[in-house]
Chain A
Amino acid sequence: MSDLANALGAHPFLAGLSDVHLAEIAACASDVRFTSGQVVAKEGRPADATYILRKGRVALKAGPHVVETVEDDEVLGWSWLFDGVWHVDAVAVGEVDAIRLDGALLDAAMHRDATLGHALSRRILLLVHRRLERARLRSLDVFGVAR
């Protein structure tokens, strides 16, 4: 397996996938780095990639407000699967070391290999599920006084 495929297989998002699937994903992947303050995604612009964070922190922002941060070992971006535009701004906070998965290439690979499509879709749904769970807790504003 290539170094990239090994790196992908070591990431929690993709851990446990078969070597075949990892090779298919690696064919869509490239190493990327962002410097502090660099814009990773811009609301309204075409969303063409998923970023698998290896090291560093990305702030998801709505206007000036940080909605949430995405950190080491987490994943950012799945809009290319749906309407193809980013729904938040994403800005690197410090150095960020990530793997970029090209949305168009991955979409094609998922169509070619339905088992890959199924496996990846499930993992992306799990991300969405976790993010939703956090949003629920957050919406309760549990540290406020006298709710």
Chain B
Amino acid sequence: MTAAALDLWRPVPMPVVSKVQETADTVTIELDARDSPVRFAPGQFTMLYAFGHGEVPISISGDPAHPERLVHTIRAVGRVTNPLVAVEPGQVLGVRGPFGTGWPVHDAEDGEVVVVAGGIGLAPVRPVFHALAAHRERYERVWVLVGARTPADLLYREELERFAGAHGFDLRLTVDHADDTWDGPVGVVTRLLEAADFDPSRATLMTCGPEIMMRFVVREALRQGVPAEKIWLSMERNMKCAIGLCGHCQWGADFLCRTGPVMRWDHAMHRFDVGGL
């Protein structure tokens, strides 16, 4: 067995250096990757291993300019994510990756960028904000349209507002259900898209969230005239290996761990409406 071949399956240990409680069930952790920097494209993911519990795919949510700091936002939804969310600084996790395709941050240059994210779907696009901010002059208007269930479920809220202020992003937030703390928009995220005043012929749209949400977002984007080949989405599937060998993430001929998770709408559209593929 060659060492290179082994690396595909074998994680690298990395210590947790910080942890931020984002919402009731979601945390952001930073891992020290100085010993094996994770150079990634926004949209890519890693396999995170919790000792004794197993591996799970998690999008990278950090700044691509800092491969020595691996940042993940994780929501506790299952057997492996529960212990991952419970880790504390000093503990060590296993990491493989990065894997998969990234958002079209280069293709989007010289035009407007519209990011539409909902719920935990904000985590995989967070590196896009860093990438756009790093070369802000290459983009026209940048729209960040974010939906969440309640104000308490909004991820990165303060940071997004800081980013929007510092880099001139048009940030719009909406929630499905308001509470006393919220005097902003109440309604679904597609409505932010209806209201955003961008030029559909010059815009690249990136959407990430539950599949049903993305279905409505894409429908609205197409209605506004964004071409199918300028719409990108991130598909989520059960993944066990992330290297195209376990078969779990197949969607038609795609292994979404390799030709996804990020893909263009015109590549996805014919399968999107066939249920249960």
Give residues in A with beta carbon < 8 Å to B.
Answer: 57, 59, 65-69, 71-74, 93-94, 130, 133-134, 137-138, 140-146
Given contacts A137-B212, A143-B209, 20 further A-B contacts (CB under 8 A): A57-B183, A59-B186, A65-B178, A68-B187, A69-B185, A71-B185, A93-B183, A130-B194, A133-B216, A134-B188, A134-B190, A137-B213, A137-B216, A138-B176, A138-B188, A143-B119, A143-B120, A143-B176, A143-B210, A145-B25
Chain B residues at the A interface, C-beta cutoff of 8 Å? 25, 77, 118-120, 147-149, 153, 176, 178, 182-188, 190-191, 194-195, 209-210, 212-213, 216
Known contacts A71-B195, A72-B195, A133-B216; is-contact A142 B186 (Cβ 8 Å): no
Chain A residues within an 8 Å CB radius of B216: 133, 137
For residue A130, which residues in chain B have a CB less than 8 angstroms away from its CB?
194
- Alpha-carbon gap, A65 to B183, bound state (A): 12
Partner of A69, one of B187, B194, B213: B187
Query: What residues on B are CB-neighbors of A142 within 8 Å?
Result: 118-119, 209-210, 212-213
A-B contact count (CB 8 A): 62
> Measured between alpha carbons, how far is A69 from B178 in the docked complex, in Å?
10
The listed residue (B147, B149, B185, B194) touching A57 by CB distance below 8 A is B185
Closest Cβ of chain B to A147, distance in Å, is 9
- B195-A94 in contact (CB<8A): no
- Provide the bound-state CA to CA distance between A93 and B184, in Å: 8
* Chain B positions within 8 Å of A65 at CB level: 178
Assuming A93-B183, A133-B216, is B176 touching A141 (CB within 8 A)? yes
| Contact across chains for A73 and B148 when beta carbons are under 8 A apart | no
For A138, what are the chain B residues with a Cβ–Cβ distance below 8 Å? 176, 187-188
25 pairs of residues in contact across A and B, judged by CB atoms under 8 Å: A57-B184, A57-B185, A59-B186, A66-B182, A66-B186, A68-B186, A69-B185, A69-B186, A74-B195, A94-B183, A133-B216, A134-B187, A138-B188, A140-B212, A141-B149, A141-B176, A142-B119, A142-B209, A142-B210, A143-B149, A143-B176, A143-B210, A144-B149, A145-B77, A146-B77
CA distance A67 to B210 in the complex (A): 22
Beta-carbon nearest neighbor of A64 in chain B: B180
Which residues of the other chain, A, contact B194 by a CB distance below 8 angstroms?
130
Q: Quick one: which of B77, B187, B212, B213 has the most chain A CB within 10 A?
A: B187
Closest to A70 in B: B187
A144 contacts across to B, CB distance below 8 A: 149
